[in-house]
């Protein structure tokens, strides 16, 4: 300790304590597979408690047999939240994790608070409140024990699932106290003292995915697996052109086909805008099994009114973007310092244009929903959704508006999602199914989309175009930077051109507010497609452009790209600028760590065709610095050999084994994005399935070194922030390997000789 170095415990988890800035800085690392704590047995099926559960509050119920049921409130999309949030409650409850069973909550905001899988918000938003739920529940058990033993509550403490009378060491199991505890008055959570983190028994331990035993046995736990008595299956064909409507369809011919019980036209709720993610026009086919309904769809003859987007194409977008880039920007969104003077006095100027394509989410479980719009006016829904409630485009909002029912008449059961990535923040498939169920005669139906439909009707990650210029002084310092960003918009109700969802580039993007003179301009063209957030929205796109350009400027300045970034981070706040979000000290610290872990200093010895690149990014309250090592064959075939990722998401990694899984997944997804694109022709998506929209496979997944640097900041989320810097780290590595700068995605034509 004296030298500020490692204390190694029985687990390979260590903390480094060092005096930094006068305060105690906690740092260290957590590697996966440290312990077998929380390893579920293969045969484990949560057995029913031998005595009924007693509800203590909305989240916790305890059985006299000791079983503790904790409700998992948020949608589970693969981010591990079903396991992680209950860990926070269990910690302060001082529960014996082996006696805990987890249950997915229904979508009920009044009972559980906001339920959403988005923005990596779950960790920061629950870190205190969920531990308070645990502490308040524990306090009720302490109150019950105090009354039973006729002692003061101050004489009591707990050990896992037991209240202990300190003086006599008399122990009472939680199960024996629950009946009384449920009758006690809950304390104000703010008055309850929470644990000293050094006494944590659950937070910081590897707790394996709660649902894994059921998943590896193939049990039906996803939305697509739901079976409701009497249900039929639905296939739903929508217009391939965004916002198109049905003029007519051969529904009677389809109805007459063997095995088909019904076929009808569904009309959009409200106007069928091309950007809309709600109930759109289409034709539904109902059968006793889904495949039969889908096959009948091949015989559909639909006359569409293709609407306003029918002539739009990617080629036209690219052309418009190039013209806009040449012209005067439509809007200036940020200006700091004197950009003109900086460029006038520059010793060297660097200019480059970067672009990235539209992307599709493509969670592996196609969109589906089981819905029963009942004759009594109530609607019951089983669906994989990331946003059942929030806003007009939440599941409840869409269903109540389209079916004209009150919120109190609708119940959404949240199933496990076979991936989300932001796709299921939109609930169009839920309102599809609800409307079809109603129109089919109030029968329960399960609607499943084909993969082709999922590709054709996605809230796409928007493409974008960045036109950068940088000014360097005689010391190779970046003294000025401009960006003319070209993106997509559409007039709002008032006729004002408004940027499409997730199509923005934040004007304050680094190195804004670091470089002394900086300006951000924006021009918009009309976009005629639905757009929305894809994992690390905005960041997953603009990080590639900015962190690639910074690399390019570093090379032009004759500097090491990593050291150049450290220089930028050390710049004073320019006059007139305000910084928010990223903490330059935290970012510099992890850049230095990734420099060491990756062996950055030795990269000069790599042969041509192999290179290392660096990037960093702050998003979703997380700081990440990434180094990638890529290999490019002479013919242009490329592969990422290894990625080193260092993250600072605060003082605790709540569930390390899953945290590393999230970082690993984000890295693999980032590499996958480099080969993907969605393009449009005649107002429709050209890609159809995984043969023309490839997902990365195991042979191209890099080796990964994932490391978390612990700091004395409150913990933040991990679903997203590891992703953005992966893309530019790889393309910067490709430059180092080949001398070819990738300025446009997907990566194409990087052969070298």
Q: Hey, which residues between 667 and 706 contact another protein (CB under 8 A)? A: 667-669, 672, 689-691, 695-699, 701, 703-704
Binding mask 281-320 for another protein (x = CB under 8 A): -------xxxxx--x-------------------------
Q: Looking at 416, 438, 677, 743, which residue binds another protein (CB under 8 A)?
A: 416
Write the DSSP assignment of 630-666 as a string of letters: EEE-TTS-EEEEEEEEEEE--S--SSHHHHHHHHHHH
Interface residue with another protein, options 46, 113, 213, 476 (CB under 8 A): 213
Stretch that binds another protein, among 197-205, 356-364, 499-507, 544-552 (CB under 8 A): 356-364
Both tokens of residue 468?
């950068």
Part in contact with another protein (CB under 8 A); list of ranges 112-120, 195-203, 493-501, 660-668: 660-668
Segment near another protein (CB under 8 A), from 3-11, 94-102, 396-404, 445-453?
445-453
What would the two tokens of residue 611 be?
Answer: 């290179």
State which of residues 2, 19, 42, 190 lies at the interface with another protein (CB under 8 A): 42
Q: Which two tokens stand for residue 15?
A: 């903390």
Under rule CB under 8 A, residue 218 binds another protein:
yes
Three-state SS sequence of 521-533: EEEEEECCCCECC
The 621-650 site mask, x for binding another protein (CB under 8 A), equals --------x-x---------xx--------
Neighbours of 408 (CB within 10 A): 8
CB of 446 or CB of 743, closer to another protein? 446
CB of 670 vs another protein, minimal distance in Å: 9
Does position 657 interact with another protein (CB under 8 A)? The reply is: yes
Residue 181's φ and ψ, nearest 5 degrees, are -60, -40
| Residue 413 makes contact with another protein by CB under 8 A | no
Selected from 1, 24, 39, 347, the binder of another protein by CB under 8 A is 39
Three-state SS string over 91-152 comes to HHHCCCHHHEEEEECCECHHHHCCCCCCCCCHHHHHCCHHHHHHHHHHHHHHHHHHHHHCCC
Q: Which is nearer to another protein, 249 or 296 (CB)?
A: 296
- Side-by-side strand order, sheet with 260-266: 260-266, 282-287, 232-238, 445-448, 368-373, 379-383, 410-414
Residues numbered 587 to 626 that lie near another protein (CB under 8 A) are: none
User: Do residues 346 and 471 make contact, with C-beta atoms less than 8 angstroms apart?
Assistant: yes
CB of 418 to another protein, least distance (A): 3
User: Residues 514 to 573: which contact another protein by CB under 8 A?
Assistant: none
Shortest Å distance, C-beta 81 to another protein:
11
The smaller minimum CB distance to another protein, of residues 214 and 335, is found at 214
- Closer CB to another protein, 418 or 532, in the complex: 418
DSSP readout, 8-72? E-SSS-EEEEEEETTEEEEEEE--TT---TTPPPTT---PPPSS--EE-SSSEEE-TTS-EEEEE
Helices (H) and strands (E) in the chain, counts: 18, 31
- Residue 661 is a binding residue for another protein (CB under 8 A): yes
Q: Find the binding residues for another protein in span 63-122 (CB under 8 A).
A: 77-80
Task: Name the helix (H) or strand (E) containing 481.
Answer: strand 478-491
CB nearer another protein, residue 27 or residue 79: 79
Residue 360 contacts another protein per CB under 8 A: no
What is the smallest separation between the CB atom of 240 and another protein, expressed in angstroms? 17
Choice from 91, 92, 176, 211 touching another protein (CB under 8 A): 211
Cβ nearer to another protein, comparing 135 with 448: 448
The DSSP secondary-structure symbol of 629 reads: E
Q: Is 87 strand, coil or helix? A: helix
Structural element, H or E, at residue 489? strand 478-491
Give residues 253-272 in contact with another protein (rule: CB under 8 A).
Answer: 258-259
Q: Are strands 410-414 and 348-356 parallel, antiparallel or unpaired?
A: unpaired
């Amino acid at each position: 300790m004296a030298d500020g170095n490692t204390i190694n415990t029985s687990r390979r988890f260590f903390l480094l304590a060092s005096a930094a800035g006068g305060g105690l800085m906690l740092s260290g690392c957590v590697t996966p597979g440290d312990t077998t704590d929380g390893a579920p047995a293969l045969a484990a099926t949560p057995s029913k408690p031998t005595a009924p559960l007693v509800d203590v509050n909305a989240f916790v119920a305890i059985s006299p047999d000791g079983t503790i049921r904790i409700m998992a409130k948020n949608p589970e999309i693969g981010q591990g939240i079903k396991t992680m949030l209950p860990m926070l409650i269990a910690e302060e409850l001082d529960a014996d994790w082996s006696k805990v069973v987890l249950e997915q909550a229904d979508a009920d905001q009044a009972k559980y608070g906001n339920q959403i899988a988005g923005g990596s918000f779950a960790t920061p938003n629950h870190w205190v409140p969920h531990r308070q739920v645990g502490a308040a529940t524990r306090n009720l058990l302490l109150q019950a024990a105090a009354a039973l033993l006729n002692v003061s509550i101050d004489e009591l403490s707990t050990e896992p699932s037991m209240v202990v009378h300190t003086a006599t060491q008399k122990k009472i199991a939680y199960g024996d106290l629950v009946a009384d505890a449920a009758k006690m008055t809950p304390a104000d959570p703010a008055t309850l003292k929470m644990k000293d983190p050094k006494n944590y028994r659950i937070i910081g331990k590897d707790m394996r995915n709660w649902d894994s035993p059921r998943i590896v046995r193939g049990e039906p736990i996803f939305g697509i697996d739901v079976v409701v008595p009497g249900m039929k299956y639905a296939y739903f064909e929508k217009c391939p052109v965004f916002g198109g409507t049905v003029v007519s369809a051969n529904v009677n011919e389809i109805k007459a086909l063997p095995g088909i019980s019904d076929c009808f036209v569904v009309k959009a709720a409200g106007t069928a805008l091309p950007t809309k993610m709600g109930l759109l026009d289409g034709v539904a086919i109902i059968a006793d099994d889904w495949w039969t309904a889908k096959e009948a769809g091949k015989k559909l003859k639909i006359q569409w009114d293709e609407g306003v987007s029918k002539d739009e194409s990617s080629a036209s977008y690219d052309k418009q973007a190039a013209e806009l880039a040449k012209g005067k920007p439509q809007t200036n969104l940020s200006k700091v310092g004197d950009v003109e003077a900086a460029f006038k006095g520059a010793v060297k100027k660097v200019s480059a244009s970067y672009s990235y394509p539209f992307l599709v989410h493509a969670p592996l479980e196609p969109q589906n929903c089981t819905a029963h719009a009942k004759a009594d006016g109530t609607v019951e829904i089983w669906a994989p959704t990331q946003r059942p409630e929030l806003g007009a485009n939440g599941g409840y909002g869409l269903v109540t508006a389209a079916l004209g029912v009150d919120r109190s008449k609708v119940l959404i059961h949240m199933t496990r999602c076979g991936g989300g990535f932001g796709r299921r923040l939109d609930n169009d498939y839920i309102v599809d199914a609800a409307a079809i169920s109603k129109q089919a005669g109030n029968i329960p139906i399960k609607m499943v989309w084909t993969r082709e439909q999922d590709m054709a009707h996605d809230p796409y990650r928007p493409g974008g175009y960045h036109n950068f210029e940088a000014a360097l002084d005689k010391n190779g310092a970046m003294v000025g930077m401009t960006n003319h960003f070209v993106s997509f918009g559409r007039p709002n109700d008032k006729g004002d051109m408004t940027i499409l969802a997730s199509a923005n580039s934040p004007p304050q993007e680094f190195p804004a507010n670091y470089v002394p003179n900086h300006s951000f301009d924006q021009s918009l063209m009309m976009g005629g497609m639905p757009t929305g957030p894809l994992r690390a929205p905005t960041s997953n796109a603009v990080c590639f452009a900015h962190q690639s350009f910074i690399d390019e400027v570093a090379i032009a300045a004759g500097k090491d790209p990593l050291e150049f970034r450290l220089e930028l981070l050390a710049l004073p706040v320019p006059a007139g600028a305000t910084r928010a979000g990223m903490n330059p000290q935290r970012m510099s610290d992890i850049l230095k760590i990734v420099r060491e872990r990756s062996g950055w200093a030795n990269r000069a010895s790599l042969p041509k065709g192999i290179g290392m690149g660096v990037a960093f990014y702050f998003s979703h309250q997380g700081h990440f610095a990434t180094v990638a090592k890529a290999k490019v064959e002479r013919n242009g075939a490329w592969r990422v050999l290894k990625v080193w990722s260092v993250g600072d998401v605060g003082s605790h990694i709540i569930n390390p084994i899953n945290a590393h899984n999230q970082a690993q997944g984000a890295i693999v997804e980032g590499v996958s994005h480099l080969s993907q694109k969605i393009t449009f022709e005649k107002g429709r998506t050209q890609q159809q399935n995984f043969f023309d929209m490839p997902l990365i496979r195991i042979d191209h997944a890099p080796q990964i070194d994932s490391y978390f640097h612990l700091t004395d900041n409150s913990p933040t989320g991990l679903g997203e922030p590891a992703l953005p810097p992966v893309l530019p780290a790889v393309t910067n590595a490709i430059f180092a390997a080949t001398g070819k700068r990738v300025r446009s995605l997907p990566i194409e034509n990087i052969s070298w000789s």
